Amino acid sequence: MKKILNRDSNVVEEMLSGYVKAYNRYYEQIPGHNAFMYKGRRKNKVALVIGGGSGHEPLFSGFAGRGLADAVACGNIFASPNPQLILETAKAVHEEKGVLFIYGCYSGDNLNFDMAEELCEFDDIKTAHVRVWDDCASAPKERIEDRRGIAGDIYVIKVAGAACDAGLELEEVLRITEKARDNINTIGLATSPGSIPGLDKPTFELGENEIEFGMGLHGEQGIERTTMKPASELVDRMYRELKAEMDIKENDEVAILVNGLGSTTLLELNIVYNELAKHLEKDKVVVHDSEIKNFCTCQEMGGFSITILKLDDELKKYYDTECFSPYYAREEIR
């Protein structure tokens, strides 16, 4: 498998170095660590630290900036950052108002961020965390805390960043961020496997004409493997899952994210959104905002995911505030 690399063992370091050098007007690396922070972050507020395995770019590295995260802790490819790395990242941006950690709900991330919070206690750093579990295909609702975090991370980080910048106390930032997390659901499908830099084999096997609904970002088993179908049928199945999961009704107000997994083109993703919009219009669901892009990827994996964030006035307030990073920017919606 052809990849543009130097040494397999140095992929994350070189990726991060290139990113920070290219955008050094915004970022600086935390010395000695695969982590960086936003230079222009506000002072005297709750610090927002995000992180997880690399290989899903632009998540997480592309979501630090104005109105977003203050710093990012980057693990190795598809592996959690270690507790010491997370601790050093938190210490670099801590402003005596506490630190909120946001990460996807995976066993390695859960363990390492928990350990990092314990280490923070020794430095008198007050912390809280929000585990994102938006992948509704990965476990039933009664085991929601077992669900994985995928593209819904983006909306959780967006809302949390705005809440932090509003100067709220840690407990209030946590409440609003959890509220955002609990109003987000995502379902995806895979059309082809991804890869891991340095390995010759793909992350999983899928027949030429096969697809899998609900497959995880690293190739975790989904809910149904079937043959390839027209976009209208794919979206119909996925929308029905989300509609039932979220009890979506007429006049509900939502934000929509169509996320490419790496190799699916924008042409295809726009067709997906077109099909989704037909369902939303038919059900008289109010689309407050929408995004179509590669946000949460898996090294050229084929397929896409659909994320719905159900909004109320409070969430809309934080969702609508401006934010900027080189890979995700929003103007205020008026």
Tens digit of pLDDT for each residue in 166-175? 999 999 999 9
Distance CA 323, CA 175 (A): 21
pLDDT tops 90 at residue 334: no
Tens digit of pLDDT for each residue in 191-210? 999 999 988 889 999 999 99
How much of the chain, in percent, has pLDDT values that exceed 70? Answer: 99
Going by pLDDT thresholds of 50, 70 and 90, the confidence category of residue 301 is: very high
Is-catalytic flag, 56? yes
33, 94, 129, 218: the catalytic one is 218
Tens digit of pLDDT for each residue in 232-249? 999 999 999 999 999 999
56, 94, 129, 279: the catalytic one is 56
Helix extents (H) in the chain: 11-22, 83-93, 107-122, 153-165, 170-181, 231-246, 266-282, 313-319
pLDDT tops 80 at residue 1: no
Q: Which pLDDT score is estimated for 66?
A: 97
Query: How open is the CA angle 199-18-35, to the nearest 5 degrees?
Result: 85
For residue 99, what are its two tokens? 């630190």
pTM over 0.85: yes
**Strand pairing class (302-311; 253-260):** antiparallel
Q: Which pLDDT score is estimated for 8?
A: 87
Is-catalytic flag, 129? no
pLDDT tops 70 at residue 333: no
Distance CA 324, CA 66 (A): 5
Whether 81 and 73 have beta carbons less than 8 Å apart is answered as yes
